[in-house]
């Protein structure tokens, strides 16, 4: 009789440890590249969403011969307005016609049935890189707490201001040199900061008072540079490394670096300032 021996192949402990070490090194090398690719994709998606909003604003201009008002808001010594802003005006142009039809534009944004509507998030208004929730909760002094849809896209005051009616022809500095829209970070109200956002509805307006938790438009300012602070309600900025996406009044898009000259940034926010600067 002959003896039969089974020869089983396998890894030794040293081989397993070497393989684990190699996999760990490869993961460490690949992870930053993967994260960078994802960040780049989110930035591109954000720019595309801004372009869609810019296109819808131009469609509105073609129909009404002017851009919509940044918001229907007047100062505290004037009669109350409804608060609806440029975002609500262009809902039909971004495939949100059904939501537009539900809005009662004769009432304030936070009056009766409108209060529930302004809490409804719209993905187009949220940058893919935003980490805040899709709603923020506000606590007004004279009204119960309410939810408000968060958004990252804000108008530039020279074109989309309170009660404005700006035409392309009014932009004397040139539509390709004047900002129309830009990114803003959402502040959900953490660590003692007051919540704020750029909601699609515009300004929050109750029957007798405005509630300043939504900022539909602001001025590019040297005092509030890009990405200066995530808790600064007067600051354009995004969650992309190095800067934020913007749309100019001609519909073109550009990523503006947070280290750009603040005087140039401020000049891009004027429509008829007469400044002459090379675009960054």
Task: Quick: pLDDT tens for 232-259.
Answer: 999 999 999 999 999 999 999 999 999 9
Residue 132 lies in a domain: yes
Task: Quick: pLDDT tens for 75-100.
Answer: 878 899 999 999 999 999 999 999 99
Residue 44 lies in a domain: yes
SS3 143: coil
Residue 230 lies in a domain: yes
Residue 273 lies in a domain: no
Residue 196 lies in a domain: yes
How many domains does the chain fold into? 1
Residue 229 lies in a domain: yes
SS3 13: helix
More confident residue, 112 or 5: 112
Provide the domain limits for residue 259. 16-268
Residue 275 lies in a domain: no
Task: Quick: pLDDT tens for 205-235.
Answer: 999 999 999 999 999 999 999 999 988 999 9
Residue 4 lies in a domain: no
Which residues, at least 6 apart from 130, have a Cβ–Cβ distance to it below 8 Å?
150, 152, 185, 186, 239
């Amino acid at each position: 009789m002959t003896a039969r021996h089974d020869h089983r192949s396998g890894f030794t402990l040293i081989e397993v440890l070497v393989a684990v070490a190699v996999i760990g090194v490869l993961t460490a090398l690949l992870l930053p590249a993967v994260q960078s690719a994802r960040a780049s994709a989110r930035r591109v998606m954000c720019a595309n969403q801004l372009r869609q909003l810019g296109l819808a604003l131009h469609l509105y201009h073609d129909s009404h011969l002017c851009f919509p008002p940044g918001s229907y808001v007047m100062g505290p010594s004037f009669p109350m307005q409804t608060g609806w802003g440029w975002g609500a005006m262009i809902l039909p142009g971004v495939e949100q016609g059904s939501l537009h039809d539900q809005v009662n534009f004769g009432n304030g944004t936070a009056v009766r049935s409108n209060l529930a509507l302004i809490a409804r998030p719209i993905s187009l208004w949220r940058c893919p890189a935003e980490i805040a929730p899709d709603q923020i909760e506000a606590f007004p002094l004279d009204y119960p707490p309410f939810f408000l849809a968060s958004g990252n896209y804000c108008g530039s005051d020279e074109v989309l201001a309170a009660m404005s009616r700006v035409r392309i022809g009014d932009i004397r500095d040139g539509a390709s040199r004047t900002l129309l829209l830009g990114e803003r970070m959402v502040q959900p109200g953490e660590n003692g900061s007051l919540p704020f956002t750029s909601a699609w509805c515009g300004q929050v307006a109750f029957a007798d008072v405005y509630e300043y938790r939504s900022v539909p438009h602001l001025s590019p300012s040297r005092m509030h540079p890009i990405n200066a602070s995530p808790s600064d309600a007067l600051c354009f900025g995004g969650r992309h490394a190095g800067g934020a996406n913007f749309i100019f009044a001609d519909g073109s898009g550009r990523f503006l670096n947070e280290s750009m000259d603040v005087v140039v940034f401020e000049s891009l926010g004027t429509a008829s300032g007469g400044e002459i600067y090379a675009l960054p």
